[in-house]
Amino acid sequence: MAALSEAPFFSSKPHSTNLPPTKFHTFPSKPISLTFRSTYTPCFANASPSLPQDPDPGTDSVVVLGGGSFGTAMAAHVANRKAELEVIMLVRDPQVCLSINERHCNCKYFPDHRLPENVVATMDAKSALLGADYCLHAVPVQFSASFLESVAEYVDPGLPFISLSKGLELNTLRMMAQIIPHALRNPRQPFVALSGPSFALELMDKLPTDIDADVQLVISDNSSDVTGVEIAGALKNVLAIAAGIVEGMNLGNNSMAALVSQGCSEIRWLATKMGAKPTTITGLSGTGDIMLTCFVNLSRNRTVGVRLGSGEKLENILSSMNQKVSPPPGLSTAGAVIALAQKYNVKLPVLTAVARIIDNELTPKKAVFELMSLPQVEEV
């Protein structure tokens, strides 16, 4: 597997926004074979209304691109649903590959969780991708384009990609629905975005993500609004940093509720300007995901915010974190917020404040003062 090239992470300086319009095509495809039922009820967004959602019992092989926490959790979940299914994880770390194949665990992310016997790992892209029925894409957004370009020759043009990656490509502002077909040089590559309130650890612990544990639906929310699902999944990480800052500054629950409410509005304002449906932002993949990420301590983005609000410097926070694990995606996504606000002429005071704090242009205390001084506007 080609190594994932390093990319600059943390800058909110303006970037080029000369992007081609997003186009989604109708394509023939087999049904999606992933059954989630009561253990995991995600939100799917289809790039094509013709992609069916019913389980396909004929599926033999699923490839998971990436050996991180969520890719590992989804590999385990899919493998648990069908014992005869081969789930192949394409990873770049030799130690992770060895631990999965010999000890049935991901030594980096889940050393104490045993993976199903039908989960295997490889570092060879060709053997992983050739013959796969479906692909779960879990490579971090900032690395996705270069990685996919390096393995494109092994990807069948009809292989359905189910994207687990959340965020915006910093230098281009592209979402995964644009990155995947462009990198694979196939505008008709079948694509689905999967999003919703879910932590990898809780998936590994087989905890339900829906309060209705008896639900028997394969999918809890099905949408053709790819833009809405992806932009909500990206920007909720930035809002989680802001929520963490409020927590770290001990500003109380009233301030927290006000900030998250304002942030939700900002995400909706931007998303609708980009063509998304407002109902997507208020649904499971929007508000549901936002609530989980902003209010639960398992969120790495929120944790960074708490430490920033407590007075720590970003460089010290990052140096103290596990260097083998990708930084929280909200840090890189924050760098795209200012450019998006300028491109779509939308005021995003909370989200852009996070970007300015990350760039050392603003202290958390100063940011709170500025936000409290903003005039109230009528909600639309």
Report the catalytic residues: 236
Q: Is 191 assigned to a binding site?
A: no
Q: Is 68 assigned to a binding site?
A: yes
Cα 298 from Cα 268, distance rounded (Å): 25
Contact criterion met (CB below 8 Å) for 175 and 231:
yes
End-to-end CA distance of the chain: give it in Å, rounded. Answer: 48
Nearest CA to 63 out of 141, 7, 127 is that of: 127
Q: Is 228 assigned to a binding site?
A: no
Q: Is 70 assigned to a binding site?
A: yes
Residue with tokens 């665990």: 105
Q: How far is CA 300 from the centre of its chain?
A: 13
Q: Is 335 assigned to a binding site?
A: no
Q: Are strands 161-163 and 134-137 parallel, antiparallel or unpaired?
A: parallel
Length of the chain: 380
Q: What are the tokens at 83?
A: 């014992």
Q: Is 69 assigned to a binding site?
A: yes
Q: How far is CA 330 from the centre of its chain?
A: 10
Mapping DSSP to helix (H, G, I), strand (E, B) and coil, where does residue 296 land? coil
Q: Is 198 assigned to a binding site?
A: no
Mapping DSSP to helix (H, G, I), strand (E, B) and coil, where does residue 81 land? helix
**DSSP conformational letter for 325:** S
Cα 3 from Cα 371, distance rounded (Å): 42
Cα 277 from Cα 279, distance rounded (Å): 5
Measure Cα distances from 120 to 76, 97, 115, 128 in Å: 10, 8, 9, 10
DSSP string, 120-174: EEES-HHHHHTT-SEEEE-S-HHHHHHHHHHHGGGS-TTPPEEE---S--TTT--
Nearest CA to 278 out of 341, 261, 198, 270 is that of: 270
Cα 74 from Cα 286, distance rounded (Å): 20
Feature table: binding site: 66-71, 143, 166, 200, 300-301
Feature table: binding site for substrate: 166, 300-301
Feature table: binding site for NAD(+): 66-71, 143, 200, 300
